A and B are shown apart, each in its own frame.
Chain A
């Protein structure tokens, strides 16, 4: 503990003795005996380290010193960010006090883990020590939700989200409830997450050891179902997945479900839609469709509207258009359908928007497949449900995310109990809950963020830039995770939980490293998580019965290609 810089109960500098070293993220402890005789233990994390010449006054003195002409000493010092003071007597540590590296129980004490009953393995520090999260801040007891920020490609946001899920399901932290706990993952890019239930052929003994260090067995997700939209133009509704052919169920809604559940507004969930006047038309049309669906129940999921049958989305669109803009110019539009909107321009805008959606969602809303009812989306059949969105157009993505989230949320609401928990992994939150516009999806995400904690619906959300996401969604997350950040983004107020040094470091984080901020600790901890033990693409998948690729083409960077 040095005395040339101010020492405060929150931050101080320590001098590093000859032959010793401290590096960033090391955890240290020291004691101070108060005049009362009580001992205060102060714990902290190394936030910055520095070295300098003592005895040199000019920059160029270094040449003289290196040449052996001018005497000088090298001094090394480390800045400590205090994590805990036990008991909570906030006195500064005294200069000259001896500082030690915290190991074993003292390290737990420093990270405030000693009294945590339910520990969720969250990753390893760089020296290979496990870091735990307090489950109570995730499962809703004291807090809920995880938010992950980081730039695309190197921040490995989705990988970390799936790692957390894996840890939740397999670490035993959930106890008996683990079996019934469900995960819902939206796969937004590539087929990254469609092989969660296949072992990764590229995982080696080192990585297995890292899993073991965390108390986890390296392996794939045990129970998973993938849902993928059907191929466009395929009358059988075969799921449109590239590499994965088995264990995928098609993802679509019958026209009846579309009408009855009032899913129409989810087609109008763009920022563009918000500015338009046709919200009132959307509402009345939704109400009319619900009414019609209730009146005309058919086994195959088609809907009859005033004598016309809508078996496909195109038919539905055409019926709705006719209602709003009658063919006969003399005929008035049905005010029950148009709502109070008397402006033809507004109705036209709605029709244009609806027609343009047709191309993107026609294959998702259909009643032309036999026993459509059996294809109803069931989020409970397997532990993890992956909804594959990556082939869909933006509008269709929004539609699917909105509808599936609502279904899950309503199911939780109906269940009335928080247990078993439902985890939702959703990337690109900035698209679904943008900061400065509103949409039906954002409403649901806000519901999840604000009420999900008590309902047992936990959002593991991710985005490139937290500054573009609705503040309430981010601020309701108890655990914040930051991967590599863009330098400009790192400076924004949303990352106020990162001290200055960590912000700087966030711009150079390598894939697989994250800063994790948890409510128990005032300082975010840098941790690494092991390489996924489940396949993240078909090349890595240990396909049972198929030819699994050997580790021959292992990339130099194991996180290469991950998102």
Chain B
């Protein structure tokens, strides 16, 4: 396979409008736990605490943008490094667990792309639908989700927190943790509750249908931290939409009680308090495991065959 590396730094041209994590088609039922007129902030009263919590996250980095040359036609593609891993928190210890690192060549399925072998890494071919930024992003994201699920399988904790929505996962232990809100699922008449949630309080449950899988249980939680606007420290959580309301409420109580302890502080974490310490820790570790970007880019340039 003939290819050459774009001489521009890989950051250029990467501004893609990411598809929203919340699907606009989702239907929210806010009356599953209590009727709308009974919505008040809830102080979680958990019945049991998990002895071990795993936080799972994944990251990606575009190492280089390349051109694949074939019969006089050049096709754009990207070389990307992906990593996923978990921080497993038990009382007194937090350890990094099950880190997976892969390097992928994202190129249209129609191209003749094959793996790129460089001195320091091998980029395996991952097909994308076409060459549009959205397709590329989806391919990267799909690969990353695979990695995160792979990590989750290696973890035995009874509570597994994914950084981001559940994306159709239905394992009982899984919890989706969403810190950016593109859409508020609450009906207008109860939205004001978010502003009056106190540290550690949660809203009643919603049921979200639509999207992949059997729907999700969801609720909002306020993490402790400085409050500069009504949405400060608000996160949304998701549970797989299985089981009864009672079970979901019980689970929500447990999760809501566990998380505030991990909330970060703004001088240590740019996305405080929502970016939890264990997640920020695993992100830093993953970024380190991705290796040196310049070194990898140079290796790619060396591996590219010069065009005659």
Contacts and interface: CB of A to CB of B under 8 A. Distances in A.
Contacts of B90: 68
Contacts of B94: 64-65, 67-72
Contact of B92 (A55, A61, A67, A71): A67
B89 interface: yes
B281 A58 contact: no
B87 interface: yes
B277 interface: yes
Given A68-B90, A68-B94, 10 more contacts: A55-B285, A57-B268, A58-B267, A58-B268, A70-B87, A70-B278, A70-B281, A71-B95, A71-B281, A71-B285
Given A69-B89, A71-B87, A64 B277 contact: yes
Contacts of A61: 268
A70 B261 CA distance: 11
A66 interface: yes
Contacts of A65: 94
29 contacts: A55-B96, A55-B281, A55-B284, A55-B285, A57-B268, A58-B268, A64-B94, A64-B277, A65-B94, A66-B92, A67-B94, A68-B89, A68-B90, A69-B89, A69-B94, A69-B261, A69-B262, A69-B277, A70-B87, A70-B277, A70-B278, A70-B281, A71-B87, A71-B95, A71-B96, A71-B281, A71-B282, A71-B285, A73-B96
A287 to B, nearest CB: 84
A55 B280 CA distance: 10
B71 interface: no
Contacts of B91: 68
Interface string A36-76: 00000000000000000001011011001111111111000
Interface in B90-113: 90-96
A150 B92 CA distance: 46
Interface of B: 87, 89-96, 261-262, 267-268, 277-278, 280-282, 284-285
- Interface of chain A: mostly helix, strand, loop or mixed: loop
Given A55-B284, A58-B268, A69 B278 contact: yes
Interface of A: 55, 57-58, 60-61, 64-73
A65 B96 CA distance: 12
Nearest to B262: A69
A58 B277 CA distance: 13
B58 to A, nearest CB: 15
Contacts of A55: 96, 281, 284-285
A69 B95 CA distance: 9
A71 B285 CA distance: 9
- Leading 5 A-B pairs by shortest Cβ distance: A71-B281, A71-B94, A71-B87, A70-B281, A71-B96
Contacts of B281: 55, 70-72
A64 B87 CA distance: 13
Contacts of B285: 55, 71
A70 B93 CA distance: 8
B295 to A, nearest CB: 13
Contacts of A73: 96
Nearest to B88: A71
Nearest to A73: B96
Indicate the member of A65, A68, A72 with the most B CB atoms within 10 Å. Answer: A68
Contacts of B284: 55, 57
A282 to B, nearest CB: 77
B210 to A, nearest CB: 35
Indicate the member of A60, A65, A70 with the most B CB atoms within 10 Å. Answer: A70
Contacts of A70: 87, 94, 277-278, 280-281
A73 B288 CA distance: 13
Contacts of B278: 69-71
B93 to A, nearest CB: 5
Nearest to B267: A58
Nearest to B261: A69
Nearest to A65: B94
A488 to B, nearest CB: 41
A69 B260 CA distance: 11
B259 to A, nearest CB: 11
A60 B268 CA distance: 10
A470 to B, nearest CB: 57
A105 to B, nearest CB: 40
Nearest to A56: B281
B35 to A, nearest CB: 38
B270 to A, nearest CB: 12
Contacts of B92: 66-68
